[in-house]
Structure 1
């Protein structure tokens, strides 16, 4: 009987592994095709758009890519400045807001949280016209600050951080710190933030990816080509000289997503832990 019950369990595990491997390959496939096409020329891509074997035109595609207006180093630096600064502001102030919603019992706590949830329903495009007009009147267009400072208010991140604290935070820890004479910001910075490391890592990568891939607002606010981000530069590859240089376009796309892969693999352990713990309900 024991042998009869273990065989179906082994088959079930094998089936799960096979399905996971297939899903992983399907997820990797489009990215691998993009990387391979970055090493091919236009004729090869037009003849066969899908290939799994790299070619030898990577150096030529790079020369074509940087030969005109595409400056990957400048775009990388601009994107890194905006994404890094906005990510730091997002995770810190969202954690601070979530801490206030969980650790303190005040009369308007639930209405304030409901207001944050209502803001989540408003698309960014709805407020973009008013935001641009306001930035134009205070001479803040063509500047990185309008792309960084709004990260202080990130309702989605606040929601996730609040859910995480509801499942992990013990109020007695806060009370012990207060009894020892620690201030509120000292308790938050030295006690609460270390507890929130998995959630911070998770939201850091999500915030970084969202800011890195942001195309709409940078295109609205930035007019100086020296301040263009990588997504803007890649969007410009679809026209003018690069219209028929498909290999160079794929190379530009690869350069855009490569930093995201590196950051994800560095923080993947924390991301998985943060998502699991952050899903706790009240």
Structure 2
């Protein structure tokens, strides 16, 4: 028996919703388990069958992690580092993307852009030692700048902004600005940046996640506890013999919440930037 097109569409829609719902459960379950484990005792974490709802709810893990570590200072460090890195990267990537998108007759433009894209093929581990040597000679090791500067002008961000500007910033608008006497940086500040807000928001979320969770580089360049970020401080809670899993879960939850809140606040702009043709052309 042949099904009507309407029935097939309903079946397809239902199956799609079920599949997406299942995928959402799979991806959200680790965060849910982190959240509920933060309110459990050590014994509750390892009981079988597992407790999906903690009974009773305990806050001891949070008080212990604040008492044992300078978590508030680490949170401030993470905010300064992530905020500084995002702002610097947005400025450099949008400026580079604008140059590659609109200065088509610049000598060596294509070769330079190919070189920039080629850097995406170089593993981060290869550049780690040279970058550290440069920072050490500049006296920037164990400072915020050692976490903020590296990777700010990254190839992905420049490519992202270039593609968005090509597809969404008309040349006629820039020509009109030049006729009115506006300089190139003025065009970038007053015309390009306002149009590129969705792409900037999407890129900012991606940069924030990468910078906030940057554990390996923090291990390399941060030496004193007063400069530790939250991921580094939480990782160092793990011991060789015994790990305070309750404190690790509580710290992990506190470290994850800022990213969740940032995405919820900027999700509309993020989705708009992801779907506005930033990777077309």
Is TM > 0.5 for Structure 1 vs Structure 2? Answer: yes
1:44 has 2:40 as partner: no
CA distance in 1, matches of 2:226, 2:15: 52
The range that moved more, 10-19 or 154-163, is: 10-19
Q: CA 1:62–1:49 in 2, change beyond 3 Å: closer, same or farther?
A: farther
Shift of 1:151: 4.2
Q: CA 1:87–1:49 in 2, change beyond 3 Å: closer, same or farther?
A: farther
Deviations 1:39-77 (A, max 9, x none): 111111122484321343532112221232x22211110
1:143 has 2:153 as partner: no
Partner of 1:101: 100
Secondary structure, counterpart of 2:150 in structure 1: helix
Deviations 1:101-131 (A, max 9, x none): 1111223111111010111111222121122
The range that moved more, 15-24 or 229-238, is: 15-24
The range that moved more, 202-211 or 15-24, is: 15-24
- Coordinate RMSD, CA, aligned: 1.8
Q: Give unpaired runs (5+ residues) of structure 2.
A: none
TM-score by length of 2: 0.93
Check conservation: 1:37, 1:247, Cα contact below 8 A: yes
Q: CA 1:61–1:134 in 2, change beyond 3 Å: closer, same or farther?
A: same
Shift of 1:79: 0.3
Q: CA 1:58–1:240 in 2, change beyond 3 Å: closer, same or farther?
A: farther
Partner of 1:170: 170
Q: How does 1:45-60 map onto structure 2 within 5 Å?
A: 45-48=45-48, 50-60=50-60
Partner of 1:8: 8
CA distance in 1, matches of 2:118, 2:42: 48
Partner of 1:72: 71
CA distance in 1, matches of 2:48, 2:85: 40
Q: Which runs of 4+ in 1 moved over 4 A?
A: none
Partner of 1:226: 226
Check conservation: 1:41, 1:246, Cα contact below 8 A: no
CA distance in 2, matches of 1:24, 1:8: 24
Deviations 1:75-99 (A, max 9, x none): 1100000000110011111011110
Partner of 1:237: 237
| Residues matched between the structures, number | 278
Choose between structure 1 and 2: higher helix proportion: 1
TM-score by length of 1: 0.93
